[in-house]
Structure 1
Amino acid sequence: MATSLEQIISVLEDTGNLFKKSQINLKKCPKSRLTKGYIESRLKCIEDYWKTFKKSHEELLRITTKEQRGILPYFVNEEYYVHEDIYLCLEADLKDMLSALPVSRLAEKSVQGTLDVQVKLPKIQIPLFTGCYESWPAYQDLFISLVHNNTSLSSVQKLHYLKTSIGGEAENLLKHIQVTENNYLQAWNTLKERYGNKRLIVNSLLKRLFAQKKIMNQSANSIKALLDTTSECINNLQNLNISTDSWDPIIIFLVVQKLDPESHKQWEAYSYKENSDELPSWTDLKKFLESQFRTLELVTPLSCTRERTIRERSYHVTTPNKTCNMCKNNHALCHCKEFTKLSPLERKEFAKNNNLCYNCLVPGHSVLKCRTPVSCHVCHKRHHSLLHLQKKPDTSGQIGTIQPSVSPSPCNVEEQEEIRVNTMVASNCNTRQKIALLATAMVIVRSERDHTTVLRALIDPGSESSFISEKTTQLLQLTRTTAKRSIIGMGSMKTNVNQVVQFKVVSRYKSDYSIQVEAYVVSQQLTAKIPKKSLAVHNWPHLEGLHLADPSYCTPGSIDLLLGVKEYAKILQSDLIKGPPGSPCALKTGLGWILFGEVHSGENCTQESNFIFTHHAVDVDEMLKVIWEVDMDTKRKFTKEERLCEDIYEKTYKRNDKGRYIVKLPFKTENPVSPDGNTREIALNRFLQLEKRFNKQPQLKEKYTQVIEEYKNMKHIEEVPEEEIHSKRSIYIPHLAVIREGKETTSTRVVFDASCKGSNGISLNDELLLGPVLQGDLRSLLMRWRMHAVCFVSDIEKMYRMILIAKEDKDFQRVLWRDNPDEPIKDYRLLTVTFGTASAPYLAIKTLVQLSIDEGENYPIATRIIQEDFYVDDVLSGCDNVENAIAAAKELKYLLQQGGFQLKKWSSNNAEFMRSIKPSERSSNVHLDLNIDGTTKALGIAWNLRTDKFEYNSSTHSESMNITKRSILSDIQKLYDPLGWIAPLLVMTKIFIQRLWMEKYSWDE
């Protein structure tokens, strides 16, 4: 049997490979080879393959047991359905190719005149539908008449025609639907539901009608377009059974407003009638517009092809793209190297001999008629800077004589220009770009663990603190300390920092020189690259022999460290060297000489647009002010999505005859796209994996089945009727088991994974609104609870499941289930708020708050408890004496019963209070003999009822387990601060003491 099984699987694999090769060969086949004979032979071949594959599949089913099918990869991967889909696609493609062949290439019909079993239609030309709402009615009518109602076509052929006749958004909508016999109706209904919305179609038509552009110049094409668009929109509206008989005045007003002034004037003359009560009709306006464009076509027959004449004007431009007058190359004269080698007198003589303008060096006009706004950059007179003559200084006190300046050679023009202030080479249109050079230094940074690295630091006297990048912090493994601060820059721009580190900065030239730095960690980039552009390397005399703190100051580089004014004061030394204009200043520091100032970049530019502003200030006072004013405005403002979620609930919630609330799922959009993903197939695979887990853990299956049966008995779930399984848009949610050891009630809970994404990459939770936070902070609730003399704790039984979901949203919560693997899998839908959906906590808490509003008039104490002392489904409240506590508990139970909620697992530190509670409603951990005894859980912490104290249980690792830093820290956290609220409580206590101090003393004191 084992040999027979292997042989069958081998045949199935070989046949499946033949299907895949046939699909590949068909795609590569040239069009010239796709004759009738070839297509028919290929079709017969794949049909033989399928018969072999199907026969082997049936044989395999016969010889295998159900247990083997759950293990064999062939059944696990559902390879039968995969190859069936390939076969159907190949068959459909070949039949489409055969039907698309010209009549001359088809064989003659048989003499008997009998038709083939497979009807071969001529090529159907259906217009491409891309998702435009106004095009849907025409496309729908045409597709129904040609394909949908064609009884000779199979469903798979209809689906093939449907998917090949759509594009754009519509194509993406059906992208996940495979071409199979059973998917056609689903695909067609999906398109109809999306684009058959009459309201959207009408809105699209009206938008197109009212959004037509106004005609600026009278032309036949413009008038025809206006007339055709208006007529098309009105006809489409009439086809949708919308009466437009009384729209004539509105349509006429709209169209006339779009006409050009001349046509508008002619229409008013055309439509004038002596009887002022008689209004023109849309038919009259159509006749007028038709006569207008016909008249224009006769008068200007070439208007549709004539190009607009552009009037050209000639101006003197600053840098004309003409041939150089000296070297005849393609550049301006001012950029000619041969021209710049000449002296100013020789340049002036050349311009004079060639009749060039002295100002722009362009022929054709004199300097008096030159329109170039730029003049000499030295004396600002009307001549080019290259023609400027320098005055020779006269030591005798007499008036200086004019002497030509020495023109630098091309190789050292930059160097001489920066050193000698009295020499300038400039063009007639651009100025030398100047860049502000900021002080940078290459430093050695050493951590506490002696990890070192070399960083480029920006030395910024305008910053109150120092800052370091997150990347460098991780590289050096610096020890972080929590410090929440706000960094304020230019224009009160704020950035928050949360951590501070300490390290040493060491000089690269003196290993014994170092300073201690405290810097805030910044996650984003500290500054842009400095400098912004590469600078030309200059040999400035005043910088010769200096040990520069940053030898690469002229190359743009990233900044990983910013040293503030405190560090600047530490490294500052007395020496300062100033150079000539256009060169940087040098300042001596303990890290070397730092350079800063305004320098020339070696490039030409007309304007500088970007600046680096590096002032930083850490605003501690503002942060303290915010903390102290927290309780001055306790009402939290909702975001746009939170406000939308609130509006949806308030407008749509209902109550049934038993008082239970019915709510809708708060979707972000009116038409969610998550139902379009193939969620059922994904949920099916997840369910089969769950069944495998059941096989290994029978006890888990028993408890899991009990939970599902409880859902059925309480009518929290229902089976989906067979006719609605594929006819309605739905979302299938996978579910899984969560084991909760030590729970008083069910230790096994069914959790629904609404975050599971469909085939389109979108899950149900992605499209649900989370809603605002409606309950107070947990720490505040615990502190307020412990202030009561008589405390009590309880929670609402199955709180989520006591709230019903609206009928129209039930199909968005479908699940798959069967009691035994021998039974068929059934489709169910959840009827209540489901644990696992993103909106479930909000819907439950909002319903609780709404109940206190709707019924709270008769229960004032219970209303206060619901609005202040609830954390999700747990209530932690109390009173100053036992009588008031008993009365408050009864009132709370009565109020919650109005909405279908039941309180259970009551606990208290008072025995008399517990005796007033029914034994069935008490917590199983509470014992009433002579005195109250027991321990119960209150929001994650153990509450000893006898001592009325909190207790923390810690479990140590066994010797056999590996002890790690993570496990030790986890044990410390569980032992000393399981909820993480002790440290914040200490901070709140400190602030409270500071407030008392401020009331007694002023800030100055």
Structure 2
Amino acid sequence: ALVNKNESLTNVQRFYYLKSALKGEAAHLLNSLEVTDANYNIAWNLLKERYENRKLIISTHIKSIFELPLVLKDSHKSLRSLIDNFNKHLRSLKNLELPTDKWDILLIYILVNKLDTTSKHEWEKSSVNNSDLPSLADLLKFLVDRCQILENMSGDDLSKQLLHKRSTMNHLAINNSTITKCPYCKGDHMLFRCSEFLKLSVPNRWNEVKKLKLCTNCFRSNHFNNECRGSYCRKCNRNHNTVLHNNSNDRSQADSTSSTAPKENPTLRRDTQEFRTQSQTHLVANTTETIITTHSFCPEKYVVLSTATINIKGEMGKLVSCRALLDSGSQSNFITAELVQKLGLTGSKINMEVSGVDKSTTNINKRVTTEISSLFNNFRHELGFLVLRDITGNVPINNIAIDNLKLPHDINLADHEFHISRKVDVLLGAGIFWNLLRIGQIKLSNHNAMLQKTVLGWVFAGSINCNTNDEVQALHSSNVDVQDQLEKFWSIEECEAQRDFTNEEIYCESHFTSTFKRDSNGRFVVRLPMRDN
């Protein structure tokens, strides 16, 4: 509006500003208009005719206020989201010159009923002694203050969790650590931090560990090497401490001088990391055989799969636009690993096998949960997705000519570029597919295709005539490399590397081990550690 009223600009300049500010359906509406002085007013009137529906805009904002999600958990994040969304729609109604300042009683009732039980109780308690009716400003101030309180409390809870975690670590030290001093120089430090020990050559370090009868992995004396559950070498992933790592020549020499050093063994054993390293050595020869059959083929009809452009929520609440394939024949929803990384989603590790056509199987090792939403309305839905590297090839296989389809210009296409061969980021399965459909179909003449109305927009579906002279299909038959399957298994089972403790944490562990005792009730009693200053 500011650009439109700026008298220093020409209509051509205004038109350029207008087109640069549009995207999606609105931009598509003006694609046929050239940037000229005369066309600016035509473009402006087209947009006003399409989108300046005051009644619909007001109804949409009021409906959004009534349909604000319930706050199910006493959380500052949920409350802030409720406040922000409520204020957004209320400001829009004020800008439309509606008397929202007279709606306090109604808006308070709606907003309070969206709160969790604890927040409702606190609100009633804060206003019970007030004989006057509370205002909307009072409620919003109460909610902002409550968000601040909950946020401060969540910080305290985090500190308690960290304290509990460290306390648990100290309790475990009773069973796992009986040596608090260096067994090599008798100093007050661990062996892997001993400067005298680190001055030795790697073969001599192996010999010293053998003389001291220590585990070559964690440097403790209460178990054998093949029973150790500690972390492995960070350089080669073998079952020894990182300070004992050496190149292949020195390592062979060390292996010959130490019976406790790990040896190559092709059989499966508990030492999963060692087996993984060996499998990488012994399975190198297992190459993948691929048979490729290529031939020209042109079917009379080409079936177009239904796609839609949707918004998907990232880790920090940011919405990212992506392309979704609608598949009523899939029991699960899928998402590409590339999009998961872009969204910053962490997810959870799983071990699942998904079967497809001709009983072909794919192993899945990650699952994420996030929210999808429509570009054209308030539809939102939380879904679980299985993570794949690639869902399918480009859809469609080749670009499709749509000049003779005679698509209506007054509808919102779910995917404006459904005819362009592009990758798919998300697959929406049968669990959500039927909930997306709405009443409404448009048959396209001279084609076995139609437009189906959904909450994501109108999707193109069906088959069209094949106008290409030559289409190439490549059929691949592949024997899966055993090494790939093993790597997927290890990615599920692999534990995180153990981190190094600080000097203060080591002191706390030592202090606990040396001062704890049990009282007459069986409880642990330990002296509080105090700093020197």
TM range (shorter): 0.3 to 0.5
TM-score (norm 1): 0.21
Greater RCO (Cα-Cα under 8 Å, separation 6 or more): 2
Larger radius of gyration: 1
